[in-house]
Amino acid sequence: MGEVRRRHRGSYSQCDARSRSEAECAHVHTSFSLNPLLPSLSTSRSVSSSSQAARGRRRKACFIDRFFSCKMEEQGQAEVDEVPSYFLCPITLDVMRDPVTLPTGITYDRHAIHRWLRLAGAAKSATCPLTKLPVAPDCDPTPNHTLRRLIHSWCAIHRPDALAQRVGVSTPLKTASADDNRARLAKLVSLLADVNRRDRETLATLREIRDAVAEGEQGRELVAAALPGVADALFAVLVRTSAPETANAALDVICSLRLSESERCLVRVVDRDGMALVDALVSMLQRSDAEAASRARAASLLADVTACMVPSRAAFLPEQVFVESVRLLRDDDGGASTTKAALRVLAGATSHGRNRIKAAEAGAVAALVDVLLADGGWRRSWCELALCALDRLCGCAEGRAALVAHGAGVAAVGEKVVGTSAAASGKAVRVLRSVARHAATAEVVREMAATGTVGKLCLVAASAPGTGPEDEHWCDERTRERARETLRLHARAWRGSPCLHPKMHALYPRSFDL
């Protein structure tokens, strides 16, 4: 009797299991729409034999098991290869090539955040895209080297081919031996020197070298060990390429290696193809779609190149050099590094007579006066460079005429006579002496007295002889002598001027009494 009950219980269990299997099959059939892949999961009414129906159900159940097993394996592989969210730029939602961190603490891709800040700065509303906190449009984000190395390592492990090639990631130097690294870099340099390569291939090679430099001191030392071959190859690419992306990559590597700081290397390159290099850098500055960082690097390298030129070549710089430098000074989207680089170009190139006329015709005098007015004295290097350029520009009639024609030109220069630095005081007095000697109309003489310029010249002329080099905010003996000479030129008009403060009357040198 117990045997019969067990037998019936087993048959009932088999019937329940069969019913559950049929229900699951029906559910899968309706949920995942397997009709194109499988025969119908419903029981065929035309099949009369129950054994054939059972075998069909078992085959279908096995197929469903294999189907779900494959799906689970694919899902697991997708989870393994899924890019971590903190590797993605919040703006582009793509893997970051060059992660940088804003002062707000959020990390973005350098290309994306520079474009964001440039567009937002033009609208006077530069903010962090995520936190919405205000950010200066000319801020320089901090490179996130740790995150960059993590991205490189992850790509080398999980996606060594497709993704690593797309983001320009190669095998990290630290995972290879020193001999392998030298061999790889030597091969990259030889590929760069090949003039028959296409721009796309050259760009990939430049990205590999850039990634090697980004590895740290080890990468820079290995690349520097390949000098001068790598320097000549990089500058040759910068000169011959017409693709903006390739030129930006070459310039990025040049600045990362600090090749412009190597005077011997830069002099050799300038002697070989200096004017071609100047034309290439000017072309980069003329592109309206260039990033602020690329323009700053191009302007800085242009200043170094023009400084290394021999006078016979530097005197014949193209007019576009000065036009682009003035445009950089007037560009509100340009950062501090861009402005300083443009000032260096004007201060260095205007030491030659013909360049002074070109710069004056390009509007350099008005742009330099605007820098003095906007500076406020808190950036001493800007003030000194601007006054140095103005001093050289006032060596020609066009420069002096432009300064006098500016509504605030004389007053802006006179404001820097006292209180900035010894170098600024010396340059300002030289500019005022040039104006007083060669462009002093009656109106200009009255303006110098009315704006307080004459009173500051009296302060310099009456200063103690021993307060020059020791005090950086005052002047030296040569500056005092130039101030006395300037006061002597128009003593008749200035000595009795009602615009001169009574205290300044007491400081006016007695030897100038008439």
Q: Label each residue of 122-167 as H, E or C.
A: HCCCCECCCCCCECCCCCCCEECHHHHHHHHHHHHHHCCCHHHHHC
Q: How confident is the model at residue 361 (pLDDT cuts 50, 70, 90)?
A: very high
Q: Provide mean pLDDT across the span 42-65.
A: 55
Strand partners, 109: 99
Q: What is the DSSP letter of 408?
A: T
**In which band, very low, low, confident or very high, does the pLDDT at 511 lie, cut at 50, 70 and 90?**
low
Which residues lie closer than 8 Å to 139 by C-beta, 6 or more apart? 102, 103, 117, 335
The band of 325, judged by pLDDT with boundaries at 50, 70 and 90, is very high
Query: Averaged over 276-283, what is the pLDDT?
Result: 91
Question: 224 or 472: which carries more pLDDT confidence?
Answer: 224
pTM over 0.75: no
Out of 71-80, 222-231, 294-303, 483-492, pick the least confident.
71-80
Q: How confident is the model at residue 430 (pLDDT cuts 50, 70, 90)?
A: very high
Q: What is the mean pLDDT of residues 399-412?
A: 92
Round to the nearest angstrom and report the end-to-end CA distance of the chain.
147
Q: For residues 220-250, b (16+ Cβ closer than 10 Å) or e, as one string?
A: bebbbebeeebbbbbbbbbbbbeeeebbbbb
The pLDDT mean for the chain works out to: 75
Q: What is the mean pLDDT of residues 62-83?
A: 53
Q: Judge contact between 71 and 115, C-beta under 8 A.
A: no
- Residues 159-174 have a mean pLDDT of 46
* Cβ neighbours, 10 Å, residue 493: 15
pLDDT greater at residue 230 or residue 296: 296
Comparing 245 with 291, which gets the higher pLDDT? 245
Q: Tokens for 189, please give them.
A: 């340099």
Please say whether the beta carbons of 260 and 246 come within 8 A: no
Which helix (H) or strand (E) segment holds residue 331: the answer is none
Sorting pLDDT into bands at 50, 70 and 90, what band is 200?
A: confident
Neighbouring C-alpha atoms within 13 Å toward the C-beta of 258: 7
The partner residues of 127 in beta bridges, in order of sequence, read 134
Residues 6+ apart with CB under 8 A from 309: 270, 274
User: Who wins on pLDDT, 471 or 311?
Assistant: 311
What local confidence, expressed as pLDDT, does residue 76 receive?
Answer: 46
Report the alpha-carbon distance of residue 374 to residue 134 in Å, rounded.
21
* DSSP per-residue string spanning 231-285: HHHHHHHHHH---HHHHHHHHHHHHHTTGGG-HHHHHHHHHHHHHHHHHHHHHHH
- Most confident of the ranges 66-70, 319-323, 489-493: 319-323
Residue 268: how many other CB atoms lie within 10 Å: 15
393 confidence band (pLDDT: 50, 70, 90): very high
Token duo for residue 286: 């003329």
In sequence order, the 6+-apart residues with CB closer than 8 A to the CB of 456 are 414, 417, 418
Q: What is the DSSP letter of 172?
A: -
| Residue 148 contacts residue 191 (beta carbons within 8 Å) | no
In the chain, what percentage of residues exceed pLDDT 90?
18
Instruction: Give the pLDDT confidence score for residue 156 in this predicted structure.
Output: 76
> With 50 as the cut, is the pLDDT of residue 30 above it?
no
Q: Which residues of 313-345 are buried (b: 16+ CB within 10 A; e: fewer)?
A: bbeebeebbbbbbbbbbeeebbbebbbbbbbbb
> Which pLDDT value is given to residue 110?
82
Please state, in angstroms and rounded to a whole number, the distance separating the CA atoms of residues 403 and 258: 37
Q: Residue 318 — very low, low, confident or very high, per pLDDT cuts 50/70/90?
A: very high
What's the pLDDT score for residue 245? 87
115 Cβ contact list (under 8 Å, min separation 6): 291
Per DSSP, the three-state class of 119 is helix
pLDDT at 170 over 80: no
- CA atoms of 264 and 262, how far apart (whole Å): 6
Lowest mean pLDDT among 80-89, 167-176, 372-381: 167-176
Q: Is the pLDDT of residue 219 over 80?
A: no
For position 151, what pLDDT does the model report?
86
For residue 206, give every residue at least 6 positions away whose Cβ sits within 8 Å of its Cβ, in sequence order, or none.
Answer: 192, 237, 246, 249, 250, 252, 253
Higher pLDDT, 428 or 46: 428
From 168, 159, 156, select the one nearest 253 (Cα to Cα).
168
The C-alpha R_g of the chain, in whole angstroms, comes to 37
Token pair belonging to 34: 């397997």
Is residue 114 pLDDT above 70, yes or no? Answer: yes
Short-list 379, 387, 309, CA closest to 349: 309
Determine the average pLDDT of the residues in 191-215.
Answer: 77
Per-residue confidence band for 397, with pLDDT thresholds at 50, 70 and 90 = very high
Q: Is the pLDDT of residue 485 over 80?
A: yes
